[in-house]
Every structure is written in structure tokens, then in C-alpha cells.
Amino acid sequence: MQDISIIGGGLAGAAIVGCGSWWFMIRRGKRKSSASTTKLASSLRDAKAKGEIILGTIEDGVVFMDEQGTIQLFNPGAAAITGWDSEDAVGLDWKSVFSFINKKGEPVTEDDTPFARALRTGQTVRDNEANIVSKSNMTIATNFSVTPIITNAQPTGLVGIFRDVSAERQEESQRAEFISTASHEMRTPVAAIEGYLSLALNDKVATIDSRAKDYLEKAHASTKHLGELFQDLLTSAKAEDGRLTNHPEVVEMGAFMEQLTSDLHFSAQKKNLGIDFVIGNNTIIDNNVIDASSPVSMSGGDKVIRPLYYTQLDPDRIREVITNLFDNACKYTDQGKISLGLTGNDSVVQLYVRDTGHGIPPEDIGHLFQKFYRVDNSATRTIGGTGLGLFICRKIVELYRGRIWVESTLGQGSTFYINLPRLTSQQAERMMSEEHAAATQDATAIPVPAQPAAPEPAAPAVVPEPAPAPAPAAAPVAAPLAPAPAAPVPAAPAPAAEPMATATEPAVAAAPAPVPVPTPTSPVEPVPTPPAP
């Protein structure tokens, strides 16, 4: 019995100890939870304070808007750039605060603004050429970076960061203007030097020994390279300030690229490189590959039905881009082949130039399309270049709302891609009809301003003046007849009157002779010709 009491007392004690321990653990947990909550709230207050300090201090503008486009945050930097107070801007639609214009001062459509593009694509959009109009109606040059906030795979808001770059844009414009002027002025003497060197190298113009000819050939090559440099400088300056000549038209890129591949195969043959043109997806199908290494295969081959890739651009400009990429591929490829490709989907036409050359280091890819940038390694030091070709290519592609980029593996080759907006067949036919109608209208309008009939009043004034010409013409005709009386023999004075009569008779008979002389009447003939056109 005593043992049972002892056992029962031990169990009760253990239960009491257990409950006490449980209560102690709960109290301790509560104290820990309370401490964690206090620490989290403190850290959140600190983070909010830090965020407010950062947003209130930086000069860059920061704007946050919801999916409806209503501004929820507008920092002091944004207020300083746009001229809108933060209190006034918050709660407004972003279109009431931000007014975008292009370089020509024309309003940018809503779909082309950085905010609309980021909301539509769900990706970060960067625009380094944006211009906005402030509240005081001043034009502000800006750089924009707009990032969507994604929730459940859907954009639910936008965060935009922008900066006033008016001073930098003005300095860049001045530099571009100087480069343009200097290039234009220096191009003329360089062209003259190149021309004279060409004459000196011509065997039919000059005779020089082989050693001097070698020197002149090197000088001619260097002068030609210098001329290309000035031309690239001039083109880059025009591309930056929007002065590139541009004549866009509807182009079917399949036929265009096929012809261009045929024209470029000679450059590849000089280095014993293969060249082909791939139509369709990235998988090369025999019927869709045209081997441009042989001119015979370019004209022959099986006919296949292939899609029509329409886009609107200047064919001369896009030819310049493809040729530049192709020349670079030839320069940096020692063996293998170069492929020109064409593919796309419902909204995009994609061109690419792929080589099997040296490849590009990853750290250089991000800078490749910058002005004067060249990859510096042992493979490129021996190859000449200005560092402007890819920069000009990017500017031309962006002119048609396209995109250019490169993917490369070092030691295996590079692929340059170009994406351009695609037109449907209906859009292409309608635009081509409009172009044809405009061209016909211009052609019929050309002869109207040409008014050569203006000289008609002067023609009659000239005609009467030579009319009295026959009278003086009789004098010269009679003048050679006057010596005729001197011919009679002086021994017979009596018949001297007869020679006089004979002299006068021919004079009378000769009087009508000057009338049909065409000399005075010849100016009358051309008069009817001006109205003929």
C-alpha cells in the first residue's frame, strides 16, 4: 500500500512538473514571438525610412503606378524633372503627367511609350532616346527604364526610373556636328589623292618601276581606307541625329535575301568559304537551302512553296546592314561556311548571319554595338576596321523599329540576328497599291511644271527682224556683178551701153534670187517644237 502511494505521488509530481514545463515553454515562446515581432516591425520601419531617404535624395525620377496606370508614387526627383508636384501627380493617370514626343517634336503614340510597351510585353523596356514635355511646356531629353511588377504571371504595376540627360544630349549633338563637318570637308581632298594615285598606277597614263608601284599601291590602299573611315564617321553622325536618307517601301525579304546571297558569294569565294541561304526554321531542310557557293545552283533547284516575309524598309539600307555583317563574318572566319537565314512568325521577320569563325568573348558582347568599340585580342589586331560598322547597323535597324543582337561561342562562331516588324499579305498588297498610286501621281505631275512655251513670245519678235534681210542681200549679190562692166574691151566705146544694159538685166533678174535663201527664215522652224511635249 505504501508502494502504491509512493508510485501515485510520483506520477502526480511528474504531471505537475510537465505542466509547469509546458507553461514555462509557452511563456518563453510568447516572449520570443513578441521579441521577433518587435524586431521585424523595427526593421520594417528602418527599411521604410531608408527607402524614403533614398527616394527623396536621388536626382533620378522614380514613379510607381498600378495596372490601371494610376500613379501611386512620385518622388521629388520626378517632380523636379517633370515640373509636377508629388501631391498633384499621385492619383492621376500617367498620361496626364507624361507627354512623350520624338526628335521632330511630334507626339508619340501611346502604344510606343515605354510604359505601354513594358505593360504589354511584361519585360523591362529601356529607351535612351525618349523626350518628354514638362508641365511648363519645356522639352526634356530623358533616359527611361520601365520594369513591370509581375504577380501570378500577370503585370500588376510598373516602376519607372528616368533621368534628365539634356546636357549630355546637347554635348553629343555638338560632337556629332563636328564629326559630320570634319568628315565632309576632309573627304574631298582624300578623294582627290585617291584619284591621282589611281592615275599614277594606270599603265596607260604613267610609267613607273615595280618598286615605286608597290609603294603607290600601299598608299592607294591606305587612302582608300581613310576615305571609308570618313564615310563611316559621316554616316554615324547622320544616324545619331536622324539625318540618314531613308526611302521605305514594301519588300518581300525572301526574294531580296536570295538575290543578295547571290551577290555576296564572290566575297566568300575569295577566302574559300562556303555560303548558303536558309529559308524557314533553324533546321536546315534540303529543299529550303540554296547553296550560293555555285552560281549554277542559284538559278536551278527544285521549286518549293515558301512563306512570304513582307516588311517595310529601305532596301538599300538593309542591304548595307547585311553586307556589313557578311563582310565581318568573312574577315573573322578562316575556314568553314557562312549562312544567311530568313525565318519569322506572324509578327516578326528574322534575318541572321551565322559564321564558323573565332567567336566573341562574353565580356565584349554587351559593348559590341557601341561607337568605336572593337574586340581587342590577337585574332582582331591584324584585321583593320573603324569600330563604327555595327553601331551604324544598330541605328539603321532601329530606324525600322527593329532589333539587332548577337549570340556567340568563343572558338565556334557567332550569329547576328535582326528582328523586323512583319506585314501580312493583305497589308503588303494595300501598301504596295498606295505606293504605286503615289508613284503614278508623281509621274503624271512631272510634265506640268515644265513650261517651255514661255519663250514663244520671243520667237515672233525674232522672226520679223530678219525679214528686211533680202534688201541688203541684193547689194552683195549685185556687188560681184558690178565688176562685170569692167570686163568689156575699152576699144569699143559705142556698145558700152549694151554691157550696161546686160549688167542691169541680170541685176533685175537676180533680185528675186535672195528671197528663197533659207538663212533669214531658218529661225522660224523651231518655234512649233516647244508645245509638242
pLDDT of residue 49: 77
Whole-number pLDDT of residue 105: 87
Residue type, 387: G
pLDDT score at 341: 94
Query: Under a CB-based contact definition with an 8 Å cutoff, are residues 157 and 66 in contact?
Result: yes
What is the rounded distance in angstroms from the CA atom of residue 79 to the CA atom of residue 74? 7
> Above 80 in pLDDT, residue 241?
no
CATH topology classification for 249-429 = Heat Shock Protein 90 (3.30.565)
Give the model's pLDDT for residue 504.
38
End-to-end CA distance of the chain: 143
Q: Which residue has the higher pLDDT, 453 or 506?
A: 453
Q: Using the predicted structure, report yes or no on whether residue 367 has a pLDDT greater than 80.
A: yes
The CATH 3.30.450.20 domain(s) of the chain lie at 58-164
CATH superfamily of 58-164: PAS domain (3.30.450.20)
pLDDT tens-digit series, residues 33-55? 555 656 555 665 677 778 788 88
Ranges for all domains in the chain classified under CATH 3.30.565.10 = 249-429
For the ranges 261-270, 397-406, 448-457, the one whose mean pLDDT is highest: 397-406
pTM of the model: 0.58
Q: Domain 169-240: state its class.
A: mainly alpha
pLDDT digits (tens, 9 = 90+) for 103-162: 888 999 998 999 999 988 888 999 988 999 999 999 999 999 999 998 888 888 999 999
Q: What is the pLDDT of residue 267?
A: 86
Q: In the chain, which residues fall in CATH 1.10.287?
A: 169-240
Half-sphere exposure of 258 (CA within 13 A, CB side): 17
- Average confidence (pLDDT) over 74-99: 93
pLDDT tens digits for 381-430?
Answer: 667 677 888 999 999 999 998 999 999 998 899 999 999 999 999 999 99
Strand order through the sheet with 61-66: 71-74, 61-66, 154-164, 139-151, 125-133, 100-101
477 vs 27, 232, 501, 512, 519, CA distance in Å? 146, 72, 17, 11, 15
Q: What is the secondary structure of 33-98 as a DSSP string?
A: HHHHHHHHHHHHHHHHHHHHHHHHH-SSEEEEEETT-BEEEE-HHHHHHH---HHHHTTSBHHHH-
- Taking a C-beta distance cutoff of 8 angstroms, is the pair 312, 256 a contact? no
Q: Which residue has the cell 540576328?
A: 417
Beta-ladder partners of 517: none
* Mean pLDDT, the chain, integer: 75
- Confidence band (pLDDT; 50, 70, 90) for 239? confident
Least confident of 38-52, 255-269, 433-447: 38-52
Supply the pLDDT for residue 349. 94
Confidence category of residue 297, pLDDT binned at 50, 70, 90: very low
Among the listed ranges 104-118, 241-255, 456-470, which one has the minimum average pLDDT value?
456-470
Angle at alpha carbon of residue 212, lines to 207 and 213, rounded to 5°: 70
